């Protein structure tokens, strides 16, 4: 008996070796060997280098296509069933290295009795593994020919790998993630190649500038709707017209407390008429004081860290992702590309165990009074694959890290610690007056700061006087002029938050897409942190007339998630995408 473990990259393989063997013994270019007490077997750990295989260019599938001479008559073209893949790499040297890694993996997998997948615990990790196993021939009719298990882990520590390999999952539990990733890969390839060529050729016919090589005007299933979002916001800004409105407020002359009426008037004359008829004394209709508590904000996922780091330090989302990945690989943080803001009971237990270490690491002192799991943070049902970003069991002197990495680890650790801190306690008093219209004022007075002592935002207490119901107070009423809010331009931080809400892209792809639009594809530009369309992007959006839209892409993302859950099929999804491509090619060719 022997077991082979397939890892995604070298550092992952080495950390698994440390977790299972207690040491690293390298016996090949990408092979580590040892005996595992947990698996009770001789084990070899092999690793890839990310994706070892990728789809080919269209010209390598279809002999009638010419990469230098695009023709509308060739569109659309779709991948053959079970398309062949090529070794990954931009150069022959890189492709040769992918081939060597694969051949080493194949040798060990064929010789092993049992196989364990231990690539990154996400859709792409699953896809990387099964592209390799399919090539080797381990999968026949979507079933393994050898015993196959999945190790699912949430950080890179020895402790977590030991837990994962002691609790191996059946391959069926995660296999659909591979099918989802394959569906995404096929859809993106077909959508991108067909519509990039269709739009580029269409623009050439309209005498717009378009390169006569394979570049052209790049179109993407997710990237183009992102451009549309920014274009729509720009249109709203350009078309914005300030519209005034008026409301009524009254000031308590003795206490200088402002009360407000909720009605908003579009007509100044109407508002003036109502205001002039109001009494200068107001009856106290009701006084209600409620003691309230508020727990600290939820834990963070990658999107929240991207947004907060952008606001505090000006980091771009792609920079934040890179920093989080480095901290993950240094075994200091949990798996980065999940979307949940909750943790499990098990994770809560280890965080509580190391609470004092975390407090010392970031220099926070407070009484940890919330030491039992609360639903605001701990909910096993809301953690499907991965939990929120939290520190690992390893604690480090932050001064030993580069400043940007230390900033991110501090941000995540402080957010985690607040879960244990006392709640914010305050009294909220609401007073309602009547002087011909209803007027309301609300004041908050802090009783105990709790977690707010460490919060970056401040709350100003407003203490209300001791009003008595049915008493009268002297007030001076006035009109308050307001204006409709002008839309703000998107920043990278606000864009990634909006993309998550709209279900555009994934945690693993959004920041890279934005980075590509800013740099390689030159569709976006930054001015004082705000995103603007380039002339090139404007030309594309004017040409496609909104036909590549956000709702369609969001619907497709939802379909992809259903494939990952085993509730939808790859074939039905690809048919929907292909039908859409056919319609758009015909539209752009007209």
Q: In the chain, what is the straight-line distance between the N-terminal and C-terminal CA atoms, in Å?
A: 64
Q: How many Cβ atoms sit within 10 Å of the Cβ of residue 407? A: 19
pLDDT value at residue 568: 98
Distance CA 155, CA 503 (A): 25
pLDDT value at residue 209: 60
pLDDT value at residue 435: 97
pLDDT value at residue 213: 52
Q: What confidence tens digit (pLDDT) does each residue in 74-127 have?
A: 999 999 999 999 999 999 999 999 999 999 999 999 999 999 999 999 999 999
Q: What confidence tens digit (pLDDT) does each residue in 166-222 have?
A: 999 999 999 999 999 999 999 999 999 999 999 999 998 876 665 555 458 999 999
Distance CA 229, CA 221 (A): 13
Residue found by looking up tokens 């907060």 in the block: 308
Q: What confidence tens digit (pLDDT) does each residue in 429-472 have?
A: 999 999 999 999 999 999 999 999 998 777 789 999 999 999 99
Secondary structure (3-state) at 136: helix
pLDDT value at residue 1: 77
Residue spans in the chain of domains classed CATH 1.10.460.10:
179-238+488-589
Provide the CATH topology of domain 179-238+488-589.
Topoisomerase I; domain 2 (1.10.460)
Distance CA 348, CA 299 (A): 12
Provide the CATH topology of domain 3-52+88-170.
Rossmann fold (3.40.50)
Listed range (31-35, 73-77, 215-219, 556-560) with the worst mean pLDDT: 215-219
Q: How many Cβ atoms sit within 10 Å of the Cβ of residue 62? A: 14
Check: CB of residue 437 under 8 Å from CB of residue 248: yes
Residue 180 token pair: 């989802």
Q: What is the secondary structure of 456-518 as a DSSP string?
A: SS-----PPP---TT-EEEEEEEEEEEEPPPPPPPBHHHHHHHHHHHT-S-TTTHHHHHHHHH
Question: Which H/E stretch holds residue 536?
Answer: helix 535-544
Check: CB of residue 222 under 8 Å from CB of residue 504: yes
Q: Residue 45 pLDDT more than 90?
A: yes
Q: Residue 305 pLDDT more than 60?
A: yes
CA 216 to chain centre: 29
- Candidates 310, 300, 227, 348; CA nearest to 507 is 300
Those residues whose C-beta lies under 8 Å from the C-beta of residue 81, and which sit 6 or more positions away, are none
Report, as an integer, the average pLDDT of 270-293. Answer: 97
Q: How many Cβ atoms sit within 10 Å of the Cβ of residue 42? A: 15
Task: Give strand pairing partners of 478.
Answer: 249
**102, exposed or middle or buried, with CB in 10 Å at 0-12, 13-18, 19+?**
buried
Residue 44 token pair: 């070899």
Q: What is the DSSP letter of 221?
A: T
Q: What confidence tens digit (pLDDT) does each residue in 352-363 have?
A: 999 999 999 999
* Count of CA atoms in the C-beta half-sphere (13 A) of 311: 14
Q: What is the secondary structure of 400-428 as a DSSP string?
A: GS-HHHHHHHHHHHHHHHTTTSPPEEEEE
pLDDT value at residue 205: 83
Distance CA 465, CA 254 (A): 10
Provide the CATH topology of domain 302-417.
Topoisomerase I; domain 4 (1.10.290)
Split at pLDDT 50, 70, 90, the class of 48 is: very high
Distance CA 448, CA 35 (A): 55
Average pLDDT of the residues of the chain = 95
Residue 77 token pair: 């073209």
Report, as an integer, the average pLDDT of 315-324. Answer: 96
Residue 149 token pair: 């298990």
Q: What is the DSSP letter of 80?
A: P
> For the chain, what percent of residues have pLDDT higher than 70?
98
Distance CA 399, CA 545 (A): 52
Residue 395 token pair: 């604690």
* Count of CA atoms in the C-beta half-sphere (13 A) of 46: 24
Q: What confidence tens digit (pLDDT) does each residue in 129-149 have?
A: 999 999 999 999 889 999 999
Residue 11 token pair: 């550092």
Residue 391 token pair: 């520190």
Residue 484 token pair: 């409709």
Residue spans in the chain of domains classed CATH 3.40.50.140:
3-52+88-170
Check: CB of residue 317 under 8 Å from CB of residue 509: no
Distance CA 553, CA 244 (A): 37
pLDDT value at residue 528: 92
pLDDT value at residue 386: 86
Pick the residue with more confidence: 400 or 589? Answer: 400
Secondary structure (3-state) at 41: strand
Q: What is the DSSP letter of 69?
A: S
Check whether domain 244-295+423-483 has CATH 2.40.50.140, yes or no:
no
E-assigned strands of 38-180?
41-47, 53-55, 85-87, 114-118, 139-140, 143-144, 148-150, 169-170
Report, as an integer, the average pLDDT of 229-236. Answer: 96
Q: What is the secondary structure of 258-303 as a DSSP string?
A: EEE----BS-HHHHHHHHHTS-SEEEEEEEEEEEEEEPPPPPB-HH
Q: What confidence tens digit (pLDDT) does each residue in 465-519 have?
A: 999 999 999 999 999 999 999 999 999 999 999 999 998 988 888 999 999 999 9
């Amino acid at each position: 008996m022997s077991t082979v473990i397939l890892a995604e990259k070298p550092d992952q393989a080495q950390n698994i070796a440390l977790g299972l063997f207690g040491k690293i013994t390298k016996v090949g270019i990408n092979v580590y060997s040892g005996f595992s007490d947990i698996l009770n077997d001789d084990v070899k750990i092999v690793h890839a280098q990310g994706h070892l295989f990728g789809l080919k260019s269209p010209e390598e599938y279809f002999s009638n296509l010419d990469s230098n001479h695009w023709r509308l008559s060739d569109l659309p073209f779709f991948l053959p069933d079970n398309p062949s893949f090529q070794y990954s790499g931009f150069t022959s040297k890189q492709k040769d290295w992918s081939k060597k890694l694969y051949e080493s993996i194949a040798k060990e997998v064929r010789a092993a009795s049992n196989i364990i997948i231990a690539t990154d615990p996400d859709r792409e990790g699953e896809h990387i593994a099964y592209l390799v196993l399919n090539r080797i021939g381990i999968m026949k009719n979507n079933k393994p020919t050898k015993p196959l298990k999945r190790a699912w882990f949430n950080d890179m520590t020895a402790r977590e790998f030991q837990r994962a390999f002691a609790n191996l999952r059946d391959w069926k539990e995660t296999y659909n993630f591979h099918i989802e990733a394959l569906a995404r890969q096929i859809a993106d390839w077909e959508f991108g190649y067909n519509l990039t060529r269709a739009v580029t050729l269409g623009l050439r016919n309209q005498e717009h500038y378009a390169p006569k090589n394979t570049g052209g005007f790049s179109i993407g299933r997710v990237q183009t709707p992102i451009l549309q979002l920014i274009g729509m916001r720009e249109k709203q800004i350009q078309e914005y017209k300030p519209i005034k409105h008026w409301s009524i407020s009254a000031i308590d002359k003795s206490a200088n407390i402002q009360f407000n009426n909720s009605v908003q008037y579009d007509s100044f004359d109407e508002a003036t008429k109502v205001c002039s008829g109001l009494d200068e004394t107001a009856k106290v209709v009701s006084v209600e004081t409620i003691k309230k508590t508020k727990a600290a904000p939820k834990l963070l996922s990658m999107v929240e860290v991207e947004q907060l780091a952008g606001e505090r330090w000006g980091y771009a989302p792609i920079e934040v992702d890179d920093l989080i990945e480095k901290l993950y690989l240094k075994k200091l943080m949990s798996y980065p590309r999940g979307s949940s803001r909750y943790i499990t009971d098990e994770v809560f237990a280890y965080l509580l165990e190391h609470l004092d270490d975390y407090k010392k690491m970031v220099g926070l002192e407070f009484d940890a009074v919330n030491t039992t799991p609360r639903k605001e943070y701990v909910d096993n049902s809301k953690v499907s694959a991965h939990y929120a970003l939290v520190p690992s069991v390893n604690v480090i002197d932050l001064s030993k890290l580069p400043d940007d990495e230390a900033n991110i680890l501090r941000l995540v650790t402080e957010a985690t610690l607040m879960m244990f801190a006392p709640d914010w306690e305050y009294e909220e008093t609401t007073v309602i007056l009547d002087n011909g219209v209803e007027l309301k004022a609300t004041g908050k007075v802090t009783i105990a700061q709790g977690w707010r002592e460490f919060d970056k935002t401040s709350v100003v207490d407003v203490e209300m006087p001791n009003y008595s119901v049915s008493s009268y107070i002297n007030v001076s009423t006035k009109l308050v002029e307001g204006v409709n809010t002008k839309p703000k331009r998107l920043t990278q931080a606000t864009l990634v938050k909006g993309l998550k809400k709209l279900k555009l892209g994934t945690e693993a792809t959004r920041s890279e897409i934005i980075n590509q639009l800013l740099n390689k594809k030159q569709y976006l530009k930054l001015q004082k942190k705000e995103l603007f369309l380039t002339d090139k992007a404007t030309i594309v959006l004017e040409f496609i007339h909104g036909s590549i839209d956000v709702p369609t892409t969001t619907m497709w993302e939802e379909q992809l998630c259903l494939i990952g859950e085993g509730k939808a099929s790859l074939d039905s999804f690809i048919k929907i995408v292909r039908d859409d491509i056919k319609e758009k090619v015909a539209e752009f060719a007209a």
